[in-house]
Amino acid sequence: MNNKELQRLTESISENLFNKKFKHKAYFNNRLRTTGGRYLLKSHNIEVNNKQFETYGTKAVIDIIKHELCHYHLHLEGKGYQHRDKDFKELSRITGAPRYCSAITNYEDRVKHVYQCNHCGTEFKRIRKVNTQKMVCGVCSGKLIEIC
């Protein structure tokens, strides 16, 4: 799927599911890492993570577009477009837009640092580095040592 096909798909979902036109741009953004897509408030464009399409296919992209179109249409109508707003929750339920997309990589694959308590031996896996001078074991309050 390319950007032109994504644009057509977004326009058709908007007309068929929301009965409203999508008048802005929808495109893939390969710099997105932690999100499936996003609605840009200033430009009103929708960006989709191309890794979602590569990993999960068209069904995942359709779900992401539905979710982002909920933000889009509610924002343009001046209603509550944020996840916590009643309007957003209601429109998501009506259209079948999911709250989250599937993760591309799991936590275990992203772990870079492993710490072990020198008192009880409990291991802690972390993506980010932890300050072992300040942080202690959550089980026994022992000192943490970085294994790798």
What positions carry a catalytic annotation? 68
Give the residue ranges of the annotated binding site for Zn(2+). Answer: 67, 71
Among candidate residues 92, 10, 3, 13, the one with its CA nearest the CA of residue 44: 10
Give the residue ranges of the annotated binding site. Answer: 67, 71
Q: How many CB atoms are located within 10 Å of the residue 22 CB?
A: 20
The backbone torsions φ and ψ at residue 145, rounded to the nearest 5 degrees and listed phi first, read: -125, 130
DSSP code, position 143:
B
Nearest 10 degrees: Cα torsion 72, 70, 47, 61:
-150
